[in-house]
Amino acid sequence: MKNISILGATGTIGINTLDVIARHPQHFNVVALSANIQVEKLFQLCIKHQPNYAVMADSHAAEQLQLKCQTACLDLTVLSGTEGLETIASLDEVDYVMAAIVGAAGLLPNLAAARAGKRVMLANKESLVMSGQLFMDTIHQHQAELLPIDSEHNAIFQCLPDQRNHDKTAKMAVRKILLTASGGPFRTWKREQLHSVTPEQAIAHPNWEMGKKISVDSATMMNKGLEVIEACWLFDLNVDNIQVVIHPQSTIHSMVAYNDGSVLAQLGNPDMRTPIAYALAWPERMESGVADLDIFSVAQLDFSPPDFSHYPCLQLAYDAHRQGGYATIALNASNEIAVEAFLSKQIGFTDIPRLIEAVLNDAPSGSANTVETILQQDQASREQAQRYLHDYQYPASNTHH
């Protein structure tokens, strides 16, 4: 029986994880669940899954949850804030941690899980974008296991040589990674049409069910840019060995090209329960609830290179990783601010990369080797992004274009 903490239990990854776990009650036990401010949702999950701990990131929300649990005579410990998240990520009785908190907020609890030597099932790419070297060093030093949950990175993990033997010669045979991307909902739009994109249009992803922030990132392809950076750290590869491929069907989740001309691909229906089940069962496999892929109904697979002028956020991500130092922290922080501003209609869709680029240009050189310096730069970049927002007074209508 494996004991599990789920960080971000009310989000898409969290709900799908609980769905997979519920199919294997003899193998998995939910010890802890967390949410940000969704009190009622987490309360219902606590009733259903009976964890020992529940954590709300927001302290006021934690008080509300505590009251609900007492009224319902639920026997569990309610914690709050980053400290509460770090606690459930590092509990002695926990074996696996599903790291599914969106954004920079996931960094500290994910590091806590790594320091505690857990199997970290990483669905939070920002941890590696912000603190790649530090995070990977922590994983290795404490002999934690790191399994990627993003469908693309999970596909790559499945197509690479067995990660347990650490065989450098097998690793050297990898020529490049082909990271697939749907291209988002505006793949076929003309560039001049992008000025008029609304938040409602941007969060309607053609293939995947995702939260608002990640859906906007998919539309700008910043999501893929963050995944490029994440792949560099996860698989110890140079950014020039990672090629993004537009594949609108989202059937091939990624590919690995080898030096003998072989290309291995992982295929499946676009359903996050596949990578979740793989990470839970690894090195075995188990039933996930996902329907078998019907290749005859798919019938056709299309591939094309990305147009960086159509997806400037993707170019900015490549540039930030090459720049190194604090650049990727600035990239992530400014993107979070820009997406928030777009969703609240402060700025237009095409202003997102402009704001990010402005903040990136201010990023200092040098390396962020400690949690403190990483968080300081994250905060500085957010403040800089807010200043640009205030100074530019971007109208949501994009009339300035």
> Per-10-residue mean pLDDT for the chain, 401 residues long?
97 96 97 96 97 96 96 95 97 98 90 98 92 95 97 96 62 91 92 92 74 90 96 94 95 96 96 97 96 94 96 97 92 96 94 96 86 94 94 50 37
For residues 288 and 329, membership in a common domain is answered with no
For residues 294 and 252, membership in a common domain is answered with yes
For residues 83 and 24, membership in a common domain is answered with yes
DSSP 28: E
235, 265, 298: which is the final residue of a domain? 298
pTM for this entry: 0.90
For residues 17 and 105, membership in a common domain is answered with yes
Identify the bridge partners of residue 265 per DSSP, sorted by sequence position: 255
Q: Is 358 helix (H, G, I), strand (E, B) or coil?
A: helix
Residue 309 counted as domain residue: no
Cα–Cα distances (Å) from 214 to 103, 124, 147, 217, in that order, read 9, 11, 20, 5
Residue 328 counted as domain residue: yes
Tokens of 293: 């892929």
**Residue 361 and residue 368: Cα distance in Å, rounded?**
17
We report the CATH number of the domain holding residue 57 as 3.40.50.720
Residue 17 counted as domain residue: yes
For residues 15 and 145, membership in a common domain is answered with yes
Half-sphere exposure of 400 (CA within 13 A, CB side): 11
Q: Residue type for 261, please?
A: G
For residues 251 and 119, membership in a common domain is answered with no
149, 169, 204: which is the final residue of a domain? 149
Residue 398 counted as domain residue: no
123, 149, 175: which is the final residue of a domain? 149
Tokens of 202: 């941007």
Distance of CA 311 to the CA centre of its chain: 19
Identify the bridge partners of residue 179 per DSSP, sorted by sequence position: 244
By residue range, what is the domain housing residue 128? 2-149
Residue 100 counted as domain residue: yes
For residues 246 and 333, membership in a common domain is answered with no
Nearest residue to 206 via CA among 188, 182, 181, 189:
182
Nearest residue to 371 via CA among 156, 23, 82, 172:
82
For residues 335 and 384, membership in a common domain is answered with yes
Whether the ω angle into residue 25 lies within 30 degrees of 0, i.e. cis, is no
For residues 271 and 337, membership in a common domain is answered with no
For residues 320 and 386, membership in a common domain is answered with yes
Residue 308 counted as domain residue: no
For residues 106 and 204, membership in a common domain is answered with no
Residue 401 counted as domain residue: no
- Give residue 395's pLDDT: 43
**Residue 294 and residue 267: Cα distance in Å, rounded?**
11
- Give residue 399's pLDDT: 37
We report the CATH number of the domain holding residue 338 as 1.10.1740.10
Residue 81 counted as domain residue: yes
In the chain, the number of structural domains is 3
For residues 114 and 237, membership in a common domain is answered with no
